[in-house]
Amino acid sequence: MSVSDRLDVRKTYKLYIGGAFPRSESGRTYEAFDAKGTFLANVARASRKDARDAVSAARKAFAGWSGATPYNRGQVLYRVAEMLEGRREQFIAEVMAGEGLRRSGAGDVVDRAIDRWVWYAGWADKIAQVHGSANAVAGPYFDFSLPEPTGIVATIAPQESSLFGLVSVLAPVIVTGNTAVVVTSYSRPLPAMTLAEVLATSDVPGGVVNVLTGDSTEVGPWLASHMDVNGIDLAGVSDPDLATALEEAAADNLKRVLRPGLPAWDVADPGIHRMTPFLETKTVWHPIGV
């Protein structure tokens, strides 16, 4: 058989839950196409149970990840950036296909995504100094306000920006010690799953990031109403009625909610406003001289 007679080995993209790549428990898949309508791959379609499994994995990983030193988290995220750089060509090809960009444009998107990941990695051991404070008190005490991670954050990723938008909403969640359940772009899921492969072979512990492909209008309500999810980012929800419904569902356990409208991926100013919504403030008193 000549090289020209070879058949392409088509890849079926699975979910990424707890550091593993399971198929959807429902067995469902859907077809992903490029910007010209050409078939690219079969992709797992996440179900309600898949969402529950992802939340369970995120909860198991939370204690270890939030308990790691900020410096260590920064180093782990920087290692991810190194691996993203090593797979730059693959990401360029996937962004070109999914977003219909020329190679130069796709290369710019990938480079910006890597740079943004590095930018957030650098904040790991600095956010406490910026977002925390030493408070003035009338008495022989030290009084400190310190940021702590909220817990599990569910994120509906941007639908149009399959890599840059995803990085811009995922990195600030995990760099601050939260764990994440991400619902990817429905029509452009390939860069997200390649990112999942990078995470699986990096130093990021399994369960810190869990990636679900499928319809966010189907999976989103289960995450919004899940009682063990502590926050939800609706960056990829463009329908105001759906955003309101998800926000109402999130109110059952007083989740922190980040509504659409904030600049999810403004290249000029990524801003710490993506990190602070999913931080709690703990105030500690300590007697002076003890």
Write the pLDDT tens digit of every residue in 7-22. 777 778 999 999 999 9
DSSP annotation of 260:
B
Average the pLDDT over 173-197 and give the result. Answer: 95
For the chain, which residues make up each domain, given as ranges? 14-24+43-287
pLDDT at 201: 94
pLDDT of residue 43 exceeding 80, the answer is yes
pLDDT of residue 267 exceeding 60, the answer is no
Helix (H, G, I), strand (E, B) or coil at 18: coil
Question: What's the fold here for domain 14-24+43-287?
Answer: Aldehyde Dehydrogenase; Chain A, domain 1 (3.40.605)
pTM of structure:
0.90
pLDDT of residue 3 exceeding 80, the answer is no
pLDDT of residue 42 exceeding 70, the answer is yes
CB distance 48 to 215 below 8 Å: no
Write the pLDDT tens digit of every residue in 72-129. 999 999 999 999 999 999 999 999 998 989 999 999 999 999 999 999 999 999 888 7
